Chains A and B, each alone.
Chain A
């Protein structure tokens, strides 16, 4: 089957919509910047008006007038429902079990949904030193559904990450529980520039659920460095709806800042 061209939208927009569709009404969502914020806000403006966002820096239910460029962005301050500090969000919000959804991205993501944002190569003598955990580890440890954003190639995805900064299903079923992480938490989905992968709870592994309209099952499998299982119901990813694109382009991001992700490989 030959892949088609994307029809009237760009890949980062499709990925943001895929993220939005994972958010349910009344969810409390801990977001970073870029995709996560846009995805969560698309959901808020479409099917989940009562979803509420928080940023680890101390912000709850912000009403920014432009897309936030960081979790500490000045535009998050005026109009928020609550502003405190890290312990208000990461402690009283997240650790206390109040957060449903967290968005994470990683330089390297493996089949168990473990995420590496610490280093490429050996830890003591890294080939490439990355930023570190920040809020990623606690978010991945403690939210009910972790939504992972990643680039889809055999370098960014891995059989095993070089360093587990943020635990997914670690090395298989039962591992999170054994380490004392709360029950009912863990990776829910990996949204890439080629596909949406979900997790088989019996193996802890990610499998292919939908492939984006400009690719094929074969190409996705070939671009995945582990023996990627394919859902018997595998299908093409639903393209963005008119409503989703309207919200994204007219309300949330009129300057189309999202197109910056194209230069970061989200094509």
Chain B
């Protein structure tokens, strides 16, 4: 049964105020189209997580959608610190979010445990650091230290995470949600499979036969998926391997805008509230920066080596 829908319907039907969301992407394949729709629909009190958060989380925090953040990191990368994140934690603007801090080893391990139905998992980092001293909304369940039952060594355990919804952006999916990626994965596969249901945004919807040409690329099987949305250019200003490059110029636009409260509001008015959907966003981009700018982001056409699964 086809699960193809629009981003508007996918978010309104599957994301509720107060939900716990995993949002995939690692500079690579960030689901910006969905992020903007969450903001447009005024979702609030969300708990959000991903290893290495960036502009997208900063924007959700600045827009007031986030209550809690299970974090490892948030920055604008090349463009420095997350301005909205700082305003929230330093000045309570628009409100102070609660942050539970882990690392890029412990958090993906917690998502992996969640994806595999494990109750918790041991990790070999965090020990001896002040990350062990600060606890937020997870309280004493942030972690436990035990003596390993096998050799008595001090061992840090972290809990499994099972988000209500995962939102990911992938290269291609079929109509039922078998979702395929190539290139840098971040914690996307474990985060998606840890969630109770998944919203798949993709550059293109392909047939089940095409998925079957290279099934090793599927990171989420369709039984996990609640909605499939075709959203070309949906990860802009991030990139999608094989489709388009990172838009550094736009990264700078966000950095400059988000440096002040007013600038950030104007950014949302122009790029989020001022457009109804990704199509209008692309049209607005082309109007603002020219078709040549848009076209320049397009990836070179360079197919990989075709694989054979025959026997």
| Chain A residues in the interface with B (C-beta under 8 A) | 33, 56-59, 69-74, 76-78, 83-88, 90-91, 94-95, 118, 123, 126-138, 141-142, 163-167, 170, 175-176, 178-182
B128 touching A86 by the CB < 8 A rule? no
Confirm or deny: B140 has a beta carbon within 8 angstroms of a beta carbon on chain A.
Answer: no
Known: A57-B26, A86-B108, A138-B104. A126 touches B89 (CB 8 A): yes
B190 touching A87 by the CB < 8 A rule? yes
Tell me if A's interface is mostly helix, strand, loop or mixed. Answer: loop
Known: A70-B78, A123-B134. A76 touches B184 (CB 8 A): yes
- What residues on B are CB-neighbors of A180 within 8 Å? 124, 127-128, 153-156
B103 touching A134 by the CB < 8 A rule? yes
- What residues on B are CB-neighbors of A78 within 8 Å? 302
Known: A133-B104, A138-B104. A72 touches B26 (CB 8 A): yes
- What residues on B are CB-neighbors of A72 within 8 Å? 26-28, 52, 184, 186
Confirm or deny: B49 has a beta carbon within 8 angstroms of a beta carbon on chain A.
Answer: no
Confirm or deny: B158 has a beta carbon within 8 angstroms of a beta carbon on chain A.
Answer: no
| Chain B residues in the interface with A (C-beta under 8 A) | 26-28, 51-52, 71-75, 77-78, 81-82, 85-86, 89-90, 101-106, 108-109, 112, 123-131, 134, 153-156, 182-190, 239, 241, 245-246, 248, 302
B154 touching A179 by the CB < 8 A rule? yes
- What residues on A are CB-neighbors of B26 within 8 Å? 57-58, 72, 85-86
B124 touching A85 by the CB < 8 A rule? no
A95 to B158, CA, bound (A): 15
Contact of A83 among B73, B82, B103, B184 (CB under 8 A): B184
User: A172 CB to closest chain B CB, in angstroms?
Assistant: 12
User: A38 CB to closest chain B CB, in angstroms?
Assistant: 15
- What residues on B are CB-neighbors of A69 within 8 Å? 77-78, 246, 248
User: A62 CB to closest chain B CB, in angstroms?
Assistant: 10
Known: A70-B27, A70-B77, A133-B103. A165 touches B130 (CB 8 A): yes
A264: nearest residue on chain B (CB-CB)?
Answer: B80
Known: A87-B112, A128-B86. A133 touches B190 (CB 8 A): no
A176 to B188, CA, bound (A): 32
A175 to B154, CA, bound (A): 13
